[in-house]
Structure 1
Amino acid sequence: MLLELCVNGSCYGTAFVIVRNQHILVDEDALKGAHLPLQNTQEQTIGSRRFIDMSVYDRGSKVQLDPDAGRLSLTLPAGAFENHDVALNPSSQRLMPTAVPSAYVNYAFNAGTERSDSSVYLDAGFAYGRGLLRDNPSWNEAEGFSRGLTRYEYDDTDHDQRWTIGDQYAYSTDGLGGTVLMGGFGVVRAFDLDPYLITYPQPTISGLLQAPGTIDVYENGVLVSQRQVPAGPFNLASLGLGAGTNNVRVVVQDPFGGTTVLQQNFFSSTQTLAKGLSDYAYEIGIERTSTLANGYEAGHPVLLARANYGFTNDVTAGYRIEAENSLVNAGSSASLRLPIGLLSLGVAASDAGGNRGHGSSLTYQFNDRYFSFGSGIQVYSSAYRRIGDELLPTSFLTRRVSYVNASWTPLSRLSLQISAGNTVYDDGTQQRNIGLNSTLNLSAGMMAILSFNRALNHPGTNDNQVMLNLVIPFGRTSLGFNITHAGINGNSYGISAQHSVPSDSGSGYNLNAQNGYTGTTGLGQLDYQGQYGLVQLTDQRFGNQNDASMLVSGSLVAIDDHVYAGRALQNGYALVETPGISDVEVTHENQPVGHTDANGNLLINNLLPYQANKVGIDQNSVPLQDQIDATDQVISVPRLGGAVVRFGVHALHAARGVLMLDDKVVQYGTATLTARGNTLKTLIGLDGSFYFSDLPAGTYTLRAQTGSGDMSCHLSMPTDVRPLTDLGKIACSGSAGATP
């Protein structure tokens, strides 16, 4: 029997049902479609289908067979269903790119009335597959030429890590280690390869549905997701919550009108790792003093190894080892996620040529929608050293850093902040600061900011400063007014106007005038962003000196034997080709991004690397006489690399003619031929006429089936730009066995 299958009040289409010896057997595929668990069932093969005996669901289950109504109804307890994991955050749609060689150059040229204001900055790379050879040289009048960071990077997308050979920065993440520029070899965790990955812990909320239903997920009172969930137990994971304290409320609705509410408060921090996730860097090479030094004059071998691991969603811990010359520094750190905040601590020790030192750190932070608090302290002994310290003056080495900050939002329009910090350097210099800040959101988007800062320097001069700012928005334009009172510099006031540059093409400006102890200062800046880059004109006055400059920035991309100009690249790109067809609208994720040029080409950028990107063309912008093979494609591009997307668009060339057999027209039938691997079919009319809507140039054998028998005909389609070609009368010959 073929019956409608219904489970717990919801129906899932039809299923083959067999009744044998008072046992009801149901098609296995239909049960899978109804989300029934099949792990502990025994299947029976009948004919070409596999069936499951419904007696396996006897415990607490009910089976109703109604042949007259054409329905099989199953009622099962929720515990009989398998557990369903529901991920609410968008998952990665990883896709490996095709290996297409491409190269790019981001450029920024700045020319000023003062020769010292002139500079050139380049960021150039050659990409092939997942590899990227890259450099960012620069030049300015004061410092001359710098080759920048020269390196080869390889993205291991299977393990979310990046391998680098060449110049790279090695740095610690625990606050107790150093930072150094070196040339060498390194492998680091690269979470940016998966933009959908949430690295910090997320809550899991579990529930139970007696029948298929709907769940609504609210984050801090805002509906963020809605899902249809099958019957049975479910786990909500990957909620995509932001850092801080979040209230999650899940409303579960069954098809009978029943409602259940699940609620949970959860604190998370970006400083912790989700359970089972690791972050690491292992780098070794020769120290380089700075990007301005084109060689490796320091000549010191340097090593940095660090790793952190999420042991649980509450505990993240790791270690760090760094060394150069006679210096060795090692330490460990841990972050503990508490019910009301995050506590982080670290300890480290160093040995620099027999001089041993130690360092420690302790921080605490808490964030929610209305209140946040953070405090921390780092303490270093006088002999404590880190990699890179030898390049700094002794007076720059810190011995104690402490801070505390808090913010409170008592009203939706009012927020208050307080901060204090204290830094003690190796030479005894001490810098302390205290700040108070309040922000009031007025009507029509206006905002007033009042701040107070007190600086206490030892040795040095103490200073107090009070500042009031008023910002008035007008769409993309805003006006600002400010007044400042400082203990040292006295009073000052100013006005500013800003018009932001649109994301596509257009202009913007920034005007700023201030009057203070140095006299009147001013800045005027005009920006224009177009398809091929950005032009910025700047004129500024400081005291009695006027300076003017012009900045031009953009990019050049070489791919598929062509070079294209555009805005500065931030990510991957693709060359869209519609050969021979110009002015075709191109879309990215169904949004228009431009039109093809006279050659049928358009370069589009800002594509997510190693992810599925949907690129298409608007069929309404293609001439009616042209045929489109496909209107969209899903592609992948490498990081700062490109891909070529070709859309098959060609002019339609229709063909018509009349089939003749023994000087008589062939009446009624069908005819087929093969063109470019595709079988084309047409009808034969009373007058022997046939018609193909699109037939490429070439010679073909057409085979016809008519009431007079089968026959074959030879025809030639010329190379013709006309939309319709009349082939005239085509002589055919009867096939073997044809009726005369």
Structure 2
Amino acid sequence: MLNTNSGLTYSFNAETFALDIRVPIESFELNVFAKKESYKLKPETVSPGAFTNYQLYATQTKTNDSISGVLDVTGFNKLGSLTTGAIVNKDNTEMNVIRTSSYYQKDLPDKMQSFVLGDTVNSDGNWSRSANYFGVKWSRNFSTQPGYIYTPNPIISGSAALPSVVDVYVNNQKTFSQKINPGPFDITHLPVPGNGVGQVNLVIKDLLGNEQIVTKNFYQSPILLAKGENDFSLESGFLRKNYGTKNSDYQDGFISGTYVHGITNSITTRGRFELQPDRQAAGGDVAFTIGNFALLQTSVASSNENIRGNGNQYGINIENLGQFLKTSVGVKRFDKEFSQFASSGDETKPKTRANAFVSFPIPLINNNIGIGYINQTNWDSDPFKNVYLSSGFALPYGANLSLSYNKRLDNSNNWGAAIVFSVPLGDLNTRYNHSIDPSGKKTDTYTVSTNVPAGPGMGWSVTNEDLKKNANTNITVNSNAAQYTGQINVKDGITTGKRLGVTGTVGLLDGEIFKSRNIYNSSFAIVKTEGLKDIKIYSQNNMVAITDSKGRAAFPIRPYEKNKIQIKDNEIPLEANTEILEMNPVAYARSGLLVKFPIKISKNALVRINLPNDNPIPAGATVTIDSSKENYIAGRNGEVYLTNLNQTNKLIITWLENKCELNLEVDMQQQQEQIIGPV
């Protein structure tokens, strides 16, 4: 019996003995296709280690010689990482050492959370602001899972009565095709632009050539969270004053918290509170899309301070980032009594802050023109008003021309303008810059440069002003161990300054000391190639290092991501064999890992074998190495190419019903591939 309750109908033709069954499309199973899956990665287990980032500079001018540097020391293991840093300055008269940040951090990638104890920075939001402090912080950290999709992503639905092919177009660009079975389907996690208006078109073609088009508009913004997603931060500690100039200037204590929630895919709310002994504040903001063409943000906050009393802040911003026209308008209003987080008594107190921006295409120049306006009035100082304009032209042969202009509209009435022309000439980049400063002074700057490679290599630049005896010359050299820089400044034919610099990292992992270009706050990998030197190492398809005399190379990698690390088969010696040429390690931040390519060294040789009568063994004879049982076929003139040889090798030669044996001695110290024989 056929169940007709689901909308199924049928008819039977007795003359043709045919049964015609009609089923609603929604009765078929829904097929879901994802172009980009949301996924999480588990970093590899951390081995204990440590590293020091350094940036050292020696500067000489007409009046002073100085040495400066920035040092960061990090130790790490499976419990997390501990970092402390310092700035060092020494001139002709004194030497200063200022501590920067000292903190312990533990990341939890499976929960996308981080815990920090020590010097850190608080979260802010739409109405607050960030500040340095010493204390604790527990927060969501989406960066520990770069593959996880936590922002809204359009879902577009369709249906097909017959097996079909769907072509997916995003903003009129074909992104992929998908074969589908009859029935309804959803396509999710499309590779759409991360900000602004967009459109997805599905072109569905069935087996009979019928075509239908499904269209969906969307508005994307990194501010929005997907429905049900949460972001949070809880902080407590003591605000730090004079960061970078004093070691430990900690003052006001505080507790603060922020919570963000995606109510729907188009509405995200945020709430925040700040508690201090003499100040309390709380506020919230809402971001939501208006249809599929704009994003509106509103915020309101209130503060209470022992001296100033109660004050409020209000804000609204609307943006429309279309494929052609882009606009943004925002206004914030501050009560005189409103107190900002971590404010000082002598800072400027804003009254209103307004900004507007518009960008639109000009077909004549095949580019956009952008116009912006900023206006800030203050309770206790003069206003700031500024308008700016920028545009550019894409010219033939890869050349570019950009224009910019800005003018103050307040009491200063200053203005400035610049024209920049750049064109590549093979490996050289050339650039011309004509600028006018507020005083009316015109400056023409000419620059010729080369790019600094990602791996070992050199880049340089030379800049001249007004075609006079004024020049700035810079050179940058990358090695496996560090990056070296040099700079010479000449004005009116006289050298006015020289500077030498070196930046890099020295560390310890797996009981071995390593050197690398600067890791900064990222991660690093140490590649081992079983002692093979001068092997090029590639990361994300860029050559980043060359192995040293011990077959090692260290270089920075991105944390919490699959890092594509490769060696190339045609760049390793012929006697080296490996079945693995690519590895994809995932590292914790501020830590390192070992990447060992399982390379087997094989001593190979071309051997010429003669019979006792001095005639070569016949072509096609089988040569077997007794220790490995590997078989090789002899060629003309008794030649056979043997691999995986030892110092002493027993060879067994057979052909037809004949058999003979011989012992082959190989010089294991010789680096070049050998030709042995006749034997």
Instruction: Calculate the TM-score normalised by the size of structure 2.
Output: 0.79
* 1:436, distance to aligned residue in structure 2 (A): 2.5
**Corresponding residue for residue 140 of structure 2:** 189
**Corresponding residue for residue 724 of structure 1:** 649
- The code of the aligned residue for 1:314 comes to S
1:603 to 548, 554, 560: 554
**Corresponding residue for residue 84 of structure 1:** 31
* 1:467, distance to aligned residue in structure 2 (A): 3.0
* 1:472, distance to aligned residue in structure 2 (A): 2.6
Aligned CA distance change for structure 1 residues 525 and 245 (closer, same or farther; 3 Å): same
Check whether the contact 2:625–2:650 (CA below 8 A) recurs between aligned residues.
no
* 1:204, distance to aligned residue in structure 2 (A): 0.8
**Corresponding residue for residue 199 of structure 2:** 247
**Corresponding residue for residue 511 of structure 2:** 561
Question: What does 1:530-541 align with in structure 2 at a 5 Å threshold?
Answer: 530-541=479-490
* 1:60, distance to aligned residue in structure 2 (A): 7.0
**Corresponding residue for residue 452 of structure 1:** 405
**Corresponding residue for residue 366 of structure 1:** 320
Question: What does 1:422-441 align with in structure 2 at a 5 Å threshold?
Answer: 422-441=375-394
* 1:169, distance to aligned residue in structure 2 (A): 0.8
Aligned CA distance change for structure 1 residues 382 and 214 (closer, same or farther; 3 Å): same
Task: Specify the SS of the correspondent of 1:192.
Answer: helix
- Structure 2: runs of 5+ lacking an equivalent: 12-20, 605-623, 631-644, 653-659, 662-679
Give the Cα–Cα distance (whole angstroms) in 1 for the partners of residues 525 and 129 of structure 2: 39
Give the Cα–Cα distance (whole angstroms) in 1 for the partners of residues 245 and 360 of structure 2: 47
Task: Specify the SS of the correspondent of 2:143.
Answer: helix
Task: Specify the SS of the correspondent of 2:146.
Answer: coil
Q: Output one character per residue of 1:467-502: Cα deviation in whole Å (capped at 9) or x when no partner.
A: 333223324433233333455233333323332212
Check whether the contact 1:482–1:495 (CA below 8 A) recurs between aligned residues.
yes
Aligned CA distance change for structure 1 residues 628 and 503 (closer, same or farther; 3 Å): closer
2:357 to 381, 405, 426: 405
**Corresponding residue for residue 640 of structure 1:** 590
1:121 to 30, 53, 70: 70
- The code of the aligned residue for 1:524 comes to T
Task: Specify the SS of the correspondent of 1:724.
Answer: strand
Check whether the contact 2:113–2:140 (CA below 8 A) recurs between aligned residues.
yes
Q: Output one character per residue of 1:37-89: Cα deviation in whole Å (capped at 9) or x when no partner.
A: xxxxxxxxxxxxxxxxxxxx996799xxxxxxxxxxx9987545422222212
* 1:582, distance to aligned residue in structure 2 (A): 4.7
Give the Cα–Cα distance (whole angstroms) in 1 for the partners of residues 89 and 629 of structure 2: 61
**Corresponding residue for residue 498 of structure 2:** 548
Q: Does 1:481 align with 2:416?
A: no
Give the Cα–Cα distance (whole angstroms) in 1 for the partners of residues 578 and 349 of structure 2: 66
Give the Cα–Cα distance (whole angstroms) in 2 for the partners of residues 287 and 603 of structure 1: 38
**Corresponding residue for residue 173 of structure 1:** 125
**Corresponding residue for residue 11 of structure 1:** none
Q: Does 1:341 align with 2:294?
A: yes
1:379 to 319, 333, 340: 333
Give the Cα–Cα distance (whole angstroms) in 2 for the partners of residues 592 and 507 of structure 1: 13
* 1:432, distance to aligned residue in structure 2 (A): 0.8
Give the Cα–Cα distance (whole angstroms) in 2 for the partners of residues 191 and 126 of structure 1: 23
1:693 to 616, 623, 628: 628
Instruction: Calculate the TM-score normalised by the size of structure 1.
Output: 0.73
- Identify which range, 210-219 or 283-292, moves more after superposition: 210-219
* 1:462, distance to aligned residue in structure 2 (A): 1.7
Aligned CA distance change for structure 1 residues 410 and 456 (closer, same or farther; 3 Å): closer
Q: Output one character per residue of 1:282-327: Cα deviation in whole Å (capped at 9) or x when no partner.
A: 1101121133355543432122211211111111111111122311
Give the Cα–Cα distance (whole angstroms) in 1 for the partners of residues 540 and 435 of structure 2: 48
Check whether the contact 2:464–2:472 (CA below 8 A) recurs between aligned residues.
yes
Aligned CA distance change for structure 1 residues 435 and 598 (closer, same or farther; 3 Å): closer
Give the Cα–Cα distance (whole angstroms) in 2 for the partners of residues 141 and 481 of structure 1: 37
Check whether the contact 2:626–2:650 (CA below 8 A) recurs between aligned residues.
no
Give the Cα–Cα distance (whole angstroms) in 2 for the partners of residues 435 and 632 of structure 1: 49
Identity percentage over the alignment?
20
Aligned CA distance change for structure 1 residues 231 and 321 (closer, same or farther; 3 Å): same
Aligned CA distance change for structure 1 residues 323 and 522 (closer, same or farther; 3 Å): farther
Task: Specify the SS of the correspondent of 1:300.
Answer: strand
Aligned CA distance change for structure 1 residues 496 and 59 (closer, same or farther; 3 Å): same
Task: Specify the SS of the correspondent of 2:410.
Answer: strand
Task: Specify the SS of the correspondent of 1:276.
Answer: coil
Task: Specify the SS of the correspondent of 1:147.
Answer: strand
- Structure 1: runs of 5+ lacking an equivalent: 1-22, 24-56, 63-73, 655-688, 696-719, 730-740
Give the Cα–Cα distance (whole angstroms) in 1 for the partners of residues 240 and 540 of structure 2: 43
**Corresponding residue for residue 717 of structure 1:** none
* 1:334, distance to aligned residue in structure 2 (A): 0.6
Question: What does 1:445-594 align with in structure 2 at a 5 Å threshold?
Answer: 445-458=398-411, 461-486=412-437, 488-515=439-466, 522-541=471-490, 546-569=496-519, 571-582=522-533, 588=539, 594=545
Question: Which has the higher Rg, Structure 1 or Structure 2?
Answer: 1
Give the Cα–Cα distance (whole angstroms) in 1 for the partners of residues 381 and 317 of structure 2: 24
- The code of the aligned residue for 1:297 comes to D
Give the Cα–Cα distance (whole angstroms) in 2 for the partners of residues 199 and 573 of structure 1: 27
Task: Specify the SS of the correspondent of 1:444.
Answer: helix
**Corresponding residue for residue 42 of structure 2:** 95
Check whether the contact 2:375–2:386 (CA below 8 A) recurs between aligned residues.
yes
Q: Does 1:414 align with 2:367?
A: yes
* 1:211, distance to aligned residue in structure 2 (A): 4.4
C-alpha RMSD over aligned residues: 3.6
- The code of the aligned residue for 1:609 comes to P
- Identify which range, 188-197 or 129-138, moves more after superposition: 129-138
**Corresponding residue for residue 111 of structure 1:** 58
Give the Cα–Cα distance (whole angstroms) in 2 for the partners of residues 137 and 61 of structure 1: 82
Check whether the contact 1:96–1:636 (CA below 8 A) recurs between aligned residues.
yes
- The code of the aligned residue for 1:345 comes to T
Task: Specify the SS of the correspondent of 2:244.
Answer: coil
Give the Cα–Cα distance (whole angstroms) in 2 for the partners of residues 422 and 526 of structure 1: 41
